[in-house]
Structure 1
Amino acid sequence: MTITDPLLKDREAAPLLGISVPTFWRRVADGTIPKPIKLGALSRWPQSEILEVIERAKAARHGAA
């Protein structure tokens, strides 16, 4: 079995976006970043969803120009 969409911790996902972990959680609260998948007490994000946040920001940047 291969994992094609790894699940990331908040401290792994935040650097992909160039933000701190507290800012990451603020963006989750305001809906900019999707809510996590809960595995018991653990919170994880599919890498594809974090990359989609980046793509949406890029698209918004080009749309605003």
Structure 2
Amino acid sequence: MTYLTTSPAASERLLPLHEILERTSLSAATIYRLIPSGAFPRPVKCGNASRWPASEVAAFIEARKAARAAD
């Protein structure tokens, strides 16, 4: 018998922009300005929509908190 398994990455939630704005308190313009420099994760395109993996957004927030603690 064959069982299908899903990796944790396959079941990860992809967040829409409005949730990114709530979680980071950044504007959409700032998010899109940070993406080309690699300072914010690139979105995953779902048709015309942009979505961000929740783990990458959480890592961005944790990095900002760590940078604050280092100051």
Same fold (TM over 0.5): yes
Contact 1:38 1:44 in 2 (8 A): yes
Task: Name 2:69's counterpart in structure 1.
Answer: 62
User: Pick from 33, 42, 53: which aligns with 2:40?
Assistant: 33
Task: Name 2:25's counterpart in structure 1.
Answer: 18
Greater gyration radius: 2
Task: Name 2:54's counterpart in structure 1.
Answer: 47
Over the residues paired in the alignment, what is the CA RMSD in angstroms?
Answer: 2.0
| 1:30 shift after superposition | 2.5
TM-score (norm 1): 0.76
- Which structure: greater helix fraction? 1
Unaligned runs of 5+ in 1: none
**Stretches (4+) displaced over 4 A:** none
Unaligned runs of 5+ in 2: 1-5
Q: How many residues align?
A: 63
- Give % identity: 37
TM-score (norm 2): 0.71
